[in-house]
């Protein structure tokens, strides 16, 4: 009987232990916790000056990308000095652990974001200012969040960085950009063979297209950006030192096998929030790289003229591609800080 009592006591002690998180507002916060939904355990890291009562929520790209290390380090160092920065690895992405619970769709991710913001407000306080910082696929997620119900009341501002809110339009813009710039580059005999393959593909491509061709177009867009590297600055490097092998393995698994969620990608190839962007009234800033082939500037123009924000700005970074926070880190962060200070 003694043995069983001891075992019961051990199990009770083990089961009752809960990890503590310091949710107090401070100048140099560094807390990590998880948002659990179903079988997904999504890591959330809050760093920086939370005492400012301003939080920037980094909504990473992908889908299937990663936030905690990819958007950390030099590219957000200045932001963390002034504000709290929240890095969230979405479900089926980055360091998120667990298995896919249900069929994935954009609405699943929107529900997760709603829960994350509810959790942050619950733990850090309702009176803080929360800014959404969506990059690439994060643009689809943040715009879908903002046009749903009364979600905008939770948000002080929308920072849209090379984000897509209209997939079919994006395919058109990418095709046209590769075609036009590729033609100029071939005429100047710069990487002519590489451009020819891509330009030929784009000229034959009939839009709207299917998932396979859309994915191939996306792949060519990234390749086109690498061919323009002489025109693109690189102020910050990827912080490999921040990545553990577990992080790399988990991110690799999510990004490699994301294609198994064909339901999500089939939904994305026809997904558009353009008509509903007019619902958005929160202050917005649109930050784009001039040489972004992945989500070209036309997307910024569409968003800028459609939203009904009380205050809005649009900036193009001349020496940047799809990720201006890496390409022109200093001026990018200054622009973000100026926007937040104007509207907070």
Partner 1 sequence: MRTFHFIFCWFLFVNGVFAQNLITQDSVDTDKHYFPIAVGVSFNSNNFHSGIRLSVEKIHEINRHDKYRADSVYKTKYGVKFINYNFLYNRDKDFNTSFSLGADYGMRRVKKKGRMKELVVGLGITKTFLTKAAFTVENNQVKQKSLPGNLYGNANIMAGFGKDYSFTKSIPLKWHIRAGANILFPYGSFIMPYFAMDMGIVYRIKAKPFAVKYTIKDNLN
Q: Which of 246, 275, 311, 341 touches partner 1 (CB under 8 A)?
A: 246
Backbone φ and ψ for 335, nearest 5 degrees, come out as -65, -40
Stretch that binds partner 1, among 79-87, 197-205, 218-226, 257-265 (CB under 8 A): 257-265
Among 53, 74, 77, 97, binds partner 1 (CB under 8 A): 97
Q: How far is CA 26 from CA 31, 53, 54, 81, 123, in A?
A: 11, 9, 11, 11, 14
CA distance 60 to 41: 17
* 33 counts as binding partner 1 under rule CB under 8 A: yes
Interface segment toward partner 1; rule CB under 8 A; list 51-59, 113-121, 128-136, 194-202 = 113-121
Record the tokens describing residue 108, joined without a space. Answer: 């699943």
- Please, which residues have CB within 8 angstroms of residue 267's CB and are 6 or more apart in sequence? 105, 106
Coil/strand/helix, residue 205? coil
Contact 178, 224 (CB under 8 A): yes
Total residue count of the chain as it appears in this document: 344
The residue within the footprint of partner 1, chosen from 115, 129, 148, 290 (CB under 8 A), is 115
Should residue 41 be labelled a site residue for partner 1 when binding is judged by CB under 8 A?
A: yes
Report whether 21 contacts 43 (CB < 8 A).
no
Please report which helix (H) or strand (E) contains residue 168, including its range: helix 167-187
CA atoms within 13 A on the CB side of 24: 5
Phi, psi values for residue 85, rounded to 5°: -120, 130
| 330 Cβ contact list (under 8 Å, min separation 6) | 78, 235
Question: Tokens at residue 153, please?
Answer: 């009341």
Q: Tell me: does residue 244 bind partner 1 (CB under 8 A).
A: yes
Taking CB under 8 A as the criterion, the residue among 1, 13, 99, 212 binding partner 1 is 99
Smallest distance, Å, CB 236 to partner 1?
A: 22
Which residue number, 124 or 291, has a Cβ lying nearer to partner 1? 124
Residue from 222, 257, 305, 311 binding partner 1 (CB under 8 A)? 257
Q: Provide the β-strand partners of residue 59.
A: 88, 134
Among 28, 226, 237, 252, binds partner 1 (CB under 8 A): 252
Could you tell me the two tokens for 122? Answer: 């619950």
Binding status of residue 184 toward partner 1 by CB under 8 A: no
Query: Minimum distance from CB of 101 to partner 1 (Å)?
Result: 10
**Which one, 192 or 246, has the nearer CB to partner 1?**
246
Query: Mask of contacts with partner 1, 201-240, x by CB under 8 A?
Result: ----------------------------------------
Taking only Cα atoms into account, the Rg of the chain, rounded to an integer number of angstroms, comes to: 21
Q: Does 122 bind partner 1 (CB under 8 A)?
A: yes
Name the token pair of 85: 């920065």
Handedness of CA 94, 96, 102, 105 (dihedral sign): negative
The residue from 236, 258, 287, 343 that contacts partner 1 (CB under 8 A) is 258
Residues that bind partner 1 (rule: CB under 8 A) add up to a total of 44
Query: Which one of the spans 19-27, 77-85, 202-210, 302-310 is the region binding partner 1 (CB under 8 A)?
Result: 19-27
Contact residues: partner 1, CB under 8 A: 14-21, 32-37, 39, 41, 43, 92, 95-100, 115, 118-119, 122-123, 244-250, 252-254, 257-261
């Amino acid at each position: 009987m003694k043995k069983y009592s001891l075992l019961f006591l051990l199990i009770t002690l083990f089961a009752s232990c809960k990890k503590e998180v310091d949710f107090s507002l401070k100048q140099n916060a560094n807390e990590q916790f998880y948002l659990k939904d179903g079988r997904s355990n999504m890591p959330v890291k809050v760093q920086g000056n939370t005492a400012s009562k301003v939080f920037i929520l980094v909504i990473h790209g992908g889908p299937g990308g990663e936030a905690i290390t990819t958007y950390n380090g030099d590219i957000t160092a200045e932001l963390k000095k002034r504000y709290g920065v929240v890095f969230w690895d979405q479900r089926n992405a980055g360091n998120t652990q667990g298995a896919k619970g249900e069929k994935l769709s954009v609405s699943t991710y929107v529900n997760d974001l709603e829960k994350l913001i509810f959790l942050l407000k619950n733990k850090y306080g309702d009176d803080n200012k929360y800014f959404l910082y969506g990059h690439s696929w994060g643009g689809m997620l943040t715009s879908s969040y903002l046009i749903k119900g009364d979600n905008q009341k939770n948000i002080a501002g929308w920072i849209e960085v090379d984000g897509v809110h209209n997939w079919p339009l994006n395919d058109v813009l990418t095709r046209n950009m590769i075609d036009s710039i590729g033609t100029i580059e071939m005429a100047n005999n710069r990487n002519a063979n590489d451009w020819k393959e891509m330009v030929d593909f784009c000229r034959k491509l009939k839009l709207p297209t299917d998932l396979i061709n859309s994915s191939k177009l996306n792949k060519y867009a990234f390749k086109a950006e690498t061919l323009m590297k002489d025109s693109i600055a690189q102020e910050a490097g990827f912080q490999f030192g921040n990545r553990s092998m577990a992080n790399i393995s988990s991110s690799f698994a999510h990004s490699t096998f994301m294609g198994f969620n064909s339901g999500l990608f089939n939904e994305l190839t026809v997904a558009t929030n353009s008509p509903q962007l007019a619902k958005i009234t929160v202050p917005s800033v649109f930050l784009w790289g001039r040489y972004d082939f992945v989500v070209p500037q036309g997307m910024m123009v569409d968003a800028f003229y459609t939203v009904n924000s009380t205050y809005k700005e649009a900036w193009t970074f001349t020496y940047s591609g799809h990720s201006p926070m890496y390409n022109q880190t200093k001026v990018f962060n200054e622009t973000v800080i100026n926007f937040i200070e104007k509207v907070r």
